[in-house]
Structure 1
Amino acid sequence: MTDQETIAELARRVGTLEAEADIRRLQARYMFLCDTPCPECGVHDDARRIDLIMELYAEDAVWEGVGEYYDNQFGRAEGHAAVRSHFEAFWGQKKDPSLVLNAHYLTSEQIHVTGDTATGQWIHMQPWLHSDGTALLRSSRLNNTFRRVDGVWKISRTRTENVFIAPLNKNFAEDFPSASALMRP
């Protein structure tokens, strides 16, 4: 292998590693913005949270729940406007009981980059606690796709499939913040 070929190969490999890191941060940021209470500094309402989430998505993105349990619960949203509507339906309506705690934990990561496209698989867990004390633990498989748009990685598809949902003891979490301290500058 010539020096030029070696440099080209190393540049390709570094590019792949940088793409994987960008995608990892992109997926983690999405999950971070979906936590309750929202920990993003300066985000005090759900409309702003949704705006920040939508910045992560490609214009033609798809958000879908698949499989026996999620087909009917989440359905499929195609395109930026439909994906935004999906999030507005989740956060835009006051619910009783309200969601007071929700945190996303990602594991079992696999990211595969091919040029300007990539796939990523994760398993995620998230505890939910509602204002009436009811609680559950949800686990899902994520099989997402990503595309580089004008040099920036975007989510082109979020696909989630239920692994399990399990009830947690009522008021399983006794100490939790009403607002994230990270929200303050």
Structure 2
Amino acid sequence: MIREVGPACEQEGPDPSRSIAARLARLEANNAVRAVATRYFRLCDALGPTTQMDELGDLFAQDAVWEGKGRYEEAFGRHEGRDAILAMLGSYATSGHFILNAHYLTSEDIVILDDRTAMASWQMLQVSTYHDGKSDFRSASLNLEFAVRDGSWRITRFVTQAIFSRAVGPWNDDTAISVPTASTITLENEDTEK
């Protein structure tokens, strides 16, 4: 979803006085912001010794802030500056902390404030299995701010606040995946013919 802010946005529908170029620039900004967030989580899904930490760092402005709120305040703390953020994220990468990690984002709301700044929020679900064999299922509210720095959209503020967390059994096991076989397909076809 793309939302605009300011007095010109109080009317219904797109402002016909805005140029197509300006509207296109806003769409491109929206997609760029989404791409930065998506890349961050894809890298975090595979966070480990082979993670390209330079690429992860490039997603943040030099003066960015990353912080946990609520239950996450104690767990993750607050990190100011790209180097501090990378040190925190790097501690998960070098320790082999995750065996399995997957983030799912929903309820996206991106607001392009102007041609150089934006804010966005998502609801996140995360499933993880850790090196100690424990697994959990979590949800968090994410609020991010972005700005164009050095010619690219970058995260300037990343806030994650826990909604819930629940310990679960292992997410992945060796159970065979159920797929149709020739005999089950034949039986199903026979049943429908009767």
Alignment of 1:77-92 (within 5 A): 77-92=79-94
1:34 and 2:36 matched: no
Deviation at 1:36, TM superposition (A): 3.1
1:58 and 2:64 matched: no
CA distance in 1, matches of 2:60, 2:101: 22
Q: Which moved more, 1:29-38 or 1:158-167?
A: 29-38
SS in structure 1 of the partner of residue 19 of structure 2: helix
Q: Which amino acid aligns with 2:95?
A: Q
Q: Which amino acid aligns with 1:113?
A: I
Deviation at 1:50, TM superposition (A): 1.9
- Structure 2 gap segments, 5+ residues each: 1-14, 175-194
If the length of structure 1 is used for normalisation, what is the TM-score? 0.79
Work out which of the two has the higher radius of gyration on C-alpha atoms and give 1 or 2: 2
Corresponding position of 2:34: 24
> 2:102–2:127: 8 Å Cα contact kept in structure 1?
yes
> 1:37–1:101: 8 Å Cα contact kept in structure 2?
no
RMSD over aligned Cα, in angstroms?
A: 2.2
Quickly say closer, same or farther: Cα 1:132–1:77, change in 2 above 3 A. closer
Corresponding position of 2:135: 135
1:73 and 2:72 matched: no
Q: Which moved more, 1:8-17 or 1:77-86?
A: 8-17
CA distance in 2, matches of 1:86, 1:45: 16
SS in structure 2 of the partner of residue 156 of structure 1: strand
Quickly say closer, same or farther: Cα 1:168–1:93, change in 2 above 3 A. same
Corresponding position of 1:12: 22
CA distance in 1, matches of 2:147, 2:47: 29
1:124 and 2:127 matched: no
> 2:47–2:93: 8 Å Cα contact kept in structure 1?
no
Superposed CA offset, 1:8-32 (max 9, x none): 5222111111100111111000000
Superposed CA offset, 1:95-148 (max 9, x none): xxx421001111000000011100000011111112443210011110000001
> 1:99–1:131: 8 Å Cα contact kept in structure 2?
yes
CA distance in 2, matches of 1:37, 1:152: 23
State the identity as a percent: 36
SS in structure 2 of the partner of residue 45 of structure 1: coil
Corresponding position of 2:50: 45
If the length of structure 2 is used for normalisation, what is the TM-score? 0.75
Corresponding position of 1:107: 106
Superposed CA offset, 1:27-67 (max 9, x none): 000000001366xxxxx624xx3221101111111110012
